Chain A
Amino acid sequence: MKNWKLAAALCASVALPSVAMATDLEVTHWWTSGGESAAVAEFAKAFDATGNHWVDGAIAGSSDTARPIIISRIMGGNPMGATQLNPGKDADELIKAGLMQDITDLATKEDWAHILRPASQLASCTVDGKVYCVPVNLHSGQWMWVNRKVFEDNGMAVPTNYNELIAAAPALQAKGIQPLSLAQGWAIGLLAGDLMVAVAGVDNYVKVYKDRDMTIAKGPEFTKVFEAIAAARQFAPADKIVPQWNEAVSLVIQGKAAANIMGDWAGGEFAVAGLVAGKDFDCLPGLGLTPVLDTGGDVFYFPKNADPAITAAQLTLASTLVTKDVQVAFNLKKGSLPMRADVDLSKANDCMKKGLEILDHSTAVFPSGSQMIDRDSLNQINDLLNEFFANTDMSVADAQAKFAAIIEAAPK
Chain B
Amino acid sequence: MMLIVLGVFVCGTIWTVLFSFTNIKILPIFTPKEWIDGFVGLANYRRLFNTDRWMSCPAITHIGMADWRFTCTGALPNMVTYAVLSIAIAVSLGFLLAVLMDQKIRAEGVFRTIYLYPFALSFVVTGHVWAWIMSPEYGLQASMRQLGWDSFSFGWIADRKMVMYAIVIAGIWQGTGFVMALMLAGLRGIDEDIWKASKVDGIPAWRTYIQIVIPMMKPVLVTIFVIVTSGAVRIYDLVVAITDGGPGISSDVPSRYIYQNFSANLGQSLSASTVMLVAMAIVLIPWIRMEFGKKSQA
Chain A positions within 8 Å of B, measured between CB atoms, are 184-185, 238-239, 241, 243, 374-376, 378-380, 383-384, 386-391, 402
**B268 CB contacts on chain A under 8 angstroms:** 376
Query: Judging by beta carbons under 8 Å apart, are A390 and B244 in contact?
Result: no
List 29 A–B pairs whose Cβ atoms lie within 8 Å, in order of A's numbering: A184-B246, A185-B244, A185-B246, A238-B160, A238-B246, A238-B247, A239-B136, A239-B155, A239-B159, A239-B247, A241-B246, A374-B264, A375-B264, A376-B261, A376-B264, A376-B265, A376-B268, A378-B264, A379-B260, A379-B261, A379-B265, A383-B249, A384-B52, A387-B52, A387-B250, A389-B247, A390-B160, A390-B248, A391-B160
Question: Which single member of B246, B261, B263 contacts A390 (CB below 8 Å)?
Answer: B246
In the bound complex, residues from chain A placing their C-beta under 8 Å from that of B246 are 184-185, 238, 241, 386, 390
Given A238-B248, A386-B248, A387-B53, are A375 and B160 also a contact pair (CB < 8 Å)?
Answer: no
Across the A-B interface, how many residue pairs have beta carbons closer than 8 Å?
61
Within the complex, the shortest CB–CB distance from A405 to chain B, in Å, comes to 9
Task: Point out the residue from A379, A380, A383, A390 that lies within 8 Å of B247, measured CB to CB.
Answer: A390
Contact assessment for A386 and B249 in the assembled complex, using a CB-CB cutoff below 8 Å: yes
Docked-complex contact A379 and B264, CB < 8 angstroms: yes
A402 to B249, CA, bound (A): 15
A243 to B158, alpha carbons, bound, how many Å? 12
Which residues of the partner chain B approach A184 to less than 8 Å between Cβ atoms?
A: 244, 246-247
Most chain B CB within a 10 A radius of its CB, from A374, A378, A388, A391? A391
B234 on the interface (CB 8 Å rule)?
A: no
Q: Which of B51, B53, B159, B248 contacts A389 (CB 8 A)?
A: B248
Given contacts A239-B155, A239-B158, contact A376 B248 (CB under 8 A): no
Q: Please give the distance in Å from B70's CB to the nearest CB on chain A.
A: 16
Neighbouring B residues of A386 by C-beta, 8 Å: 246, 248-249
Interface centre among B248, B261, B263, B264 (most CB of A within 10 A): B248
Q: Of A378, A391, A402, which is within 8 A of B248 by CB?
A: A391
- Are B25 and A376 in contact, CB atoms less than 8 angstroms apart? yes
> A243-B244, A387-B52 are known contacts; what are 14 more A-B pairs with Cβ within 8 Å?
A238-B159, A238-B246, A239-B247, A374-B25, A374-B264, A375-B26, A376-B268, A378-B264, A383-B53, A386-B246, A386-B249, A390-B247, A390-B249, A391-B250
Q: Given the complex, which residues of B lie within 8 Å of A390, measured CB to CB?
A: 160, 246-250
Residues 132-173 of B contacting A (Cβ, < 8 Å): 136, 155, 158-160
Chain A residue contacts of B25, Cβ below 8 A:
374, 376
Q: Please indicate the chain A residues that have their CB under 8 angstroms from the CB of B155 in the complex.
A: 239
Interface members, chain B 1-54 (any A CB < 8 Å): 25-26, 51-53
Nearest CB of chain B from residue A215's CB, rounded to whole Å: 24
A404 to chain B, nearest CB (A): 15
Q: How far is the CA of A397 from the CA of B158 in the complex (A)?
A: 25
Give chain A residues whose Cβ lies under 8 Å from the Cβ of B158. 238-239, 241
Q: Using CB atoms, name the residue of chain A closest to B136.
A: A239
- In the complex, what's the smallest C-beta–C-beta distance from B61 to chain A, in angstroms? 17
Q: How many angstroms from the CA of A136 to the CA of B52 in the assembled complex?
A: 42
Centre residue among B53, B155, B159 by max chain A CB count within 10 A: B53
CA A171 – CA B261 in complex, angstroms? 42
Q: How far is the CA of A185 from the CA of B245 in the complex (A)?
A: 9
Map CB proximity to A onto B248-265 as digits: 1 under 8 Å, 0 otherwise: 111000000000110111
Tell me if B264 and A387 are in contact (CB < 8 A): no
Are B249 and A387 in contact, with the CB atoms below 8 A?
yes
For B26, the closest partner residue in chain A by CB is A375
Complex Cα spacing A402 to B246, Å: 20
Cβ contacts under 8 Å, A402 to chain B: 52
B264 to chain A: closest CB distance in Å?
4
Closest A residue, CB atoms, query B268: A376
Instruction: Report how far A238 CA is from B264 CA in the complex, Å.
Output: 27
Which residues from B are CB-within-8-Å of A185? 244, 246
With a cutoff of 8 Å between Cβ atoms, the chain A residues found around residue B53 in the complex are 383, 387
Measured CB to CB, the closest approach of chain B to A406, in angstroms, equals: 10
Cα A402 to Cα B53 in complex, Å, equals 13
Q: Are B248 and A387 in contact (CB under 8 A)?
A: yes
> Which single residue of chain B is at the shortest CB-CB distance from A388?
B248
**Top 7 nearest A-B pairs by Cβ distance?**
A390-B248, A239-B158, A390-B247, A238-B247, A376-B265, A376-B264, A375-B264
A241 with B247: CB separation less than 8 A:
yes
Measured CB to CB, the closest approach of chain A to B239, in angstroms, equals 13
**Chain A residues, Cβ within 8 Å of B263:** 375
List B contacts of A388 (CB < 8 A).
248
B274 CB to nearest chain A CB (Å):
18
CB distance from B270 to the nearest CB of A (A): 13
For the complex, what is the distance from the CA of A185 to the CA of B246, rounded to whole Å?
8
* Residues of the A chain whose Cβ atoms lie less than 8 Å from the Cβ of B247: 184, 238-239, 241, 389-390
B244 CB contacts on chain A under 8 angstroms: 184-185, 243
